[in-house]
Structure 1
Amino acid sequence: MLDHLDDLASDFSVFHRIPDVTVLDGPTFLRLAWRMPAYQGVMQARAAAYQEADTSAGATPRMAPGRHEEINPGTRTSLMADPAFAGLFSYGSSRG
């Protein structure tokens, strides 16, 4: 994702009317960025190119028909509990 920040920023401005992605909090950015390949933008073209490269190299497509990957909803609780996001988000102290 970090390699495509400029592409994401471009697609965010077109499809979500968000001219500056840096105003988004991390969970919101990730939720929206995850969905960018669904729109006909730069990220859809990049995702298609990656899929084509994987398929032509003999790899199983990442999103084969009928195959569903679990999507983290991006809530505070789900991000903190998901090992894939360990250490990426800090919500400060839980003390009142």
Structure 2
Amino acid sequence: MIDRVVQLGWVLDHLDDLASDFSVFHRIPDVTTLDGPTFLRLAWRMPAYEGVMRAAALAAREADTGPAPRMAPGRQEEINPGTRTALMADPAFAGLFSYGSSRG
């Protein structure tokens, strides 16, 4: 659980930056209107755009300052597409989201 908090902790350090990028790239003026999974799914993608979060991710990678949106060498970024299947299959998200019973 601590690893997961560390992995997502970068979001808390960049709330204003994320809000700014969300308003520019997704035209979402108030990020607090988003549910948690949607917010995190979109926040994870922010380094793909030419905004504040891309600059922060590149700076963190260069300085190796710890948790930040992951950007793999040779690729712009590694992202989980945020679909139910992808989230359930990704060990990094184990136990974070609950989709309830699959039985009707």
Q: Normalising by structure 2, report the TM-score.
A: 0.66
Give the corresponding residue for 1:32.
42
**Taking every aligned residue pair, what percent have the same amino acid on both sides?**
84
Would the alpha carbon gap of residues 69 and 40 (structure 1) be closer, same or farther in structure 2, given more than 3 Å must change?
Answer: closer
Give the corresponding residue for 1:9.
19
1:92 matched to 2:100: yes
Would the alpha carbon gap of residues 37 and 70 (structure 1) be closer, same or farther in structure 2, given more than 3 Å must change?
Answer: closer
1:64 matched to 2:69: no
C-alpha contact (below 8 Å) 1:37/1:44 kept by paired residues: yes
- Whole-angstrom distance in 2 between the partners of 1:30 and 1:70: 14
Would the alpha carbon gap of residues 23 and 94 (structure 1) be closer, same or farther in structure 2, given more than 3 Å must change?
Answer: farther
C-alpha contact (below 8 Å) 2:47/2:77 kept by paired residues: no
Cα deviation per residue 1:8-32 (whole Å; 9 max; x = unaligned)?
Answer: 1111011111012232233432332
- Whole-angstrom distance in 2 between the partners of 1:7 and 1:41: 9
Rg comparison, structure with higher value: 1
Counting matched residue pairs gives: 88
Matched residue of 2:14: which SS?
A: helix
Would the alpha carbon gap of residues 14 and 64 (structure 1) be closer, same or farther in structure 2, given more than 3 Å must change?
Answer: same
Would the alpha carbon gap of residues 40 and 30 (structure 1) be closer, same or farther in structure 2, given more than 3 Å must change?
Answer: same
Deviation at 1:35, TM superposition (A): 1.9
4+ aligned runs moved over 4 Å, structure 1: 67-70
